[in-house]
């Protein structure tokens, strides 16, 4: 049995203002990952691509998403909850398969962020009883994560950067390797959400909060 525990502050309204990505980057010669999967729904979905690169200071990322029906929730006064009900892309980071802890950054097409420090906890009396604790009271420093969502023809793109100091301090980079979950949530009016990921975790039900979604990225250092 898997239990989710999501911790929200009683007045946890997200009001971070993330800086625009001002540094001009060329993505022209950067490899493009586009083999995204929809393991729990065979319905076709819009083209999704992901690219990344880094220098000594930043881990840069770029999502391009084809989505002709962008859904953005404003039902709650808590913008973190609104993000979780909106079209978005997601990056998870963990240092190893224990996932104690791991970090999630979920960015929607309205330039809003859900960020959390998470952990998979195992009941000492029953190794099959996992509790997935998602602490959304934790927030990354706004100087360590900057991103911008932009509407484009037939969809949106999200370009951002995460400080290398953050990734190193959290011991997420080891031997120039970074474990990352790369996902997308596609909402459609009057239809179930479609969960899309870079790697099939092979779970019966939609679940990004497990080691099966993580892929290994190579980090290079520019001197």
pLDDT tens, residue by residue, 136-165: 999 999 999 999 999 999 999 999 999 999
Q: For residue 127, is pLDDT > 70?
A: no
C-alpha Rg value of the chain to the nearest Å: 17
Express each pLDDT in 13-59 by its tens digit. 333 444 456 457 899 999 999 999 999 999 999 999 999 999 999 99
- What topology is assigned to 2-8+39-218 in CATH? Immunoglobulin-like (2.60.40)
pLDDT category at 124 given cuts 50, 70, 90 is low
Q: Judge whether residue 5 has pLDDT over 60.
A: no
Q: List CB contacts of 69: < 8 A, sequence separation 6 or more.
A: 188, 189
Domain boundaries, the chain: 2-8+39-218
Residue 13 is predicted with a pLDDT of 31
Query: What confidence tier does 120 reach under pLDDT thresholds 50, 70, 90?
Result: very high
What is the DSSP code string of 85-128?
Answer: TS-EEEEEEESSTT-SSEEEEEEETTS-EEEEEEEEEEETTEEE
Burial class (CB in 10 A: 0-12, 13-18, 19+), 124: exposed
**Could you tell me where the DSSP H helices lie in the chain?**
79-83, 164-169
């Amino acid at each position: 049995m898997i239990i989710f525990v999501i911790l929200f502050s009683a007045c946890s309204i997200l009001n971070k203002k993330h800086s625009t990505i001002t540094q001009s980057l060329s993505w022209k010669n950067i490899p493009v990952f586009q083999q995204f999967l929809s393991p729990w729904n065979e319905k076709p979905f819009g083209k999704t691509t992901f690219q990344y690169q880094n220098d000594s200071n930043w881990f840069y990322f770029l999502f391009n998403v084809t989505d002709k029906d962008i859904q953005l929730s404003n039902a709650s006064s808590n913008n973190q909850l609104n993000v979780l009900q909106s079209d978005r892309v997601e990056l998870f980071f963990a240092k190893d398969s224990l996932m104690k802890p791991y970090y999630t950054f979920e960015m929607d097409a309205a330039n809003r962020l859900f960020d959390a420090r998470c952990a998979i906890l195992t009941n000492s009396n029953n190794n099959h009883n996992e509790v997935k604790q998602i602490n959304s009271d934790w927030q990354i420093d706004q100087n360590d994560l900057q991103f911008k969502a932009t509407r484009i023809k037939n969809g949106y793109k999200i370009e951002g950067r995460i400080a290398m100091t953050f990734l190193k301090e959290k011991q997420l980079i080891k031997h120039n390797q970074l474990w990352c979950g790369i996902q997308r949530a596609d909402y459609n009016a009057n239809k179930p959400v479609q969960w899309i990921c870079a790697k099939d975790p092979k779970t019966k039900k939609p679940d990004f909060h497990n080691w099966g979604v993580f892929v290994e990225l190579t980090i290079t250092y520019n001197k």
